[in-house]
Amino acid sequence: RTALAPREAAARRKGKARRGRGKARNEGLLSKQKRSRRMKANDRERNRMHHLNSALDALRSVLPTFPDDAKLTKIETLRFAHNYIWALTQSLRLA
């Protein structure tokens, strides 16, 4: 048997051996921490989507679309940009 620290030995004698990382946390504190983490994660995701949408808007602004007021979806924007870049590359190769 290994030697126990005085505090652990006293706790074991009283039948209150410590388990895990120490003192159990208050359930209210845990739920508050979970809520805080979830809110921070939601903020990060919201900011990520705002940046993605801004980047797609910037991409849409340089792509030639007909009619000009037609807003392409995200996937349509990416596909159109891919095809447009490919077409420009081909025209440069032929020139």
Instruction: List, for residues 9-40, the tens digit of each pLDDT value.
Output: 666 666 555 555 555 568 888 899 999 999 99
State mean pLDDT over 32-59: 96
Q: Go through the domains of the chain in sequence order and give each one's CATH number.
A: 24-94 (4.10.280)
> What pLDDT sits at residue 69?
76
Burial of 60 (0-12, 13-18, 19+ CB in 10 A): middle
Q: Is it true that the peptide bond before 67 is cis, omega within 30 degrees of 0?
A: yes
- For the whole model, what pTM was predicted? 0.63
Higher pLDDT, 14 or 43: 43
Res. 90: pLDDT tops 70 = yes
Residues 6+ apart with CB under 8 A from 12: 4
